Amino acid sequence: ASLATRQAGLPERDIQATRRAGWLHDLGKTGLSAAIMEKPDALTEREWEKVRLHPYHTERILAHSTALGQASNLAALHHEALDGSGYYRRLSGATLPPAARLIAVANKYCALLENRAYRHAATPDEAAAIINREVRAGRLDGEAARCVLAAAGHDSAPRGQVAGLSEREIDVLRLLAQGYLTRQIAERLVISPKTADHHIQHIYNKIGVSTRAGATLFAMEHNLLESPSE
């Protein structure tokens, strides 16, 4: 995580905090029973609720140290996702700082390489493939994934999508920036208007804007107005 943070060009303060958060992020699991941690079957909803709270308990433990303040904040975010499906705060999009996005990817990658009671460990290549699928699904940040995979030794780690946007969301953003209405975007991409609107709201959330003008400016700044084939 700290190597990836350095690769991402973040300041030394963030690199140090990410390293510490990486070491300490799972302290909250001390509150989970062995019956939950070693259960080979699906967890009950009550058991899952206890698991989802372990980042909170990590944050509370680390909050007792003033020297670990930033690390405490980062450690609490190691299971958050860009689309708001993570835990425990269910933050999303622009509310997740770059260092938090990096540690979320690093946590996912490292966890995949470890044996669990309910599955075998993945190989590094399998883990990288899963990470990239999570990027395409809009749950993990693409640039954070690229940095983490490169830090883990994946020399051919592909550059992720901008701001964690999936390929379909970039298609929608491109049409949105070109002036197409929601109904027209749906027709062009052969999806329902409701699905197109859903994509637009996710895009706004991920890139931190609330208007078409803001989305258009973002697309221009990141050279997204033309498709790769163009």
| Catalytic residue ranges | 29
Q: Which residues pair with 119 in a beta bridge?
A: 116
Please tell me the distance from the alpha carbon of residue 67 to that of residue 64, in angstroms, as a whole number: 9
Contacts of 52 (CB under 8 A, 6+ apart): 79, 87, 88
DSSP state of 29: G
Please tell me the distance from the alpha carbon of residue 171 to that of residue 175, in angstroms, as a whole number: 6
